[in-house]
Amino acid sequence: MEVPQIDWVKQDGLLPVVVQDADTKDVLMLAYANEEALRLTKETGFAHYYSRSRKSLWKKGESSGNLQFVKSVALDCDGDTLLYVVNQKGAACHTGEWSCFYTNLYQGE
């Protein structure tokens, strides 16, 4: 089986990051990482992302205190999406909700 590699140029320098809680398995948020954010995440053990609106790096919880302690980082089979599995301290969403996915649009049977 071929191991996927990240082609940062092909991805315009950013990969989406799905963030999942290690204990509850809840999907907490979706963010983006550039190569430096991924490097900092792996070096420090704290989730780092790239803000597309501010065009800068940010450490999750730096101002709110709602830190994400990264347990693992995985790359999907196409090499174009990351999964951070984290221990979340406090709310993951900037609204104060546990998860950013609190608005239900459809509930099947």
Label residues 25-61 b or e (16+ Cβ within 10 Å = b). Answer: eeebbebbbbeebbebbeeeebbbbbeeeeeeeebbb
The answer to whether position 31 is within a domain reads yes
The answer to whether position 65 is within a domain reads yes
The answer to whether position 51 is within a domain reads yes
pTM of the model: 0.92
The answer to whether position 78 is within a domain reads yes
The answer to whether position 105 is within a domain reads no
CATH number for the domain that contains residue 32: 3.10.20.810
**Residues in contact with 69: Cβ distance below 8 Å, sequence separation at least 6, in sequence order:** 45, 46, 47, 86, 87, 89
CB count in 10 Å sphere of residue 6: 15
Q: What is the pLDDT of residues 9-61, one digit of tens each?
A: 888 999 999 999 999 999 999 999 999 999 999 999 999 999 999 999 999 99
Extract the runs of DSSP E, i.e. beta strands, from 62-101. Answer: 68-75, 82-88
Domain range for 76: 15-88
Give the pLDDT confidence score for residue 10 in this predicted structure: 84
Give the pLDDT confidence score for residue 11 in this predicted structure: 84
The answer to whether position 22 is within a domain reads yes
How many domains does one find in the chain?
1
Give the pLDDT confidence score for residue 2 in this predicted structure: 66
**Residues in contact with 66: Cβ distance below 8 Å, sequence separation at least 6, in sequence order:** 60, 88, 89, 90, 91, 92
Q: What is the pLDDT of residues 80-97, one digit of tens each?
A: 999 999 999 999 999 999
The answer to whether position 7 is within a domain reads no
The answer to whether position 107 is within a domain reads no
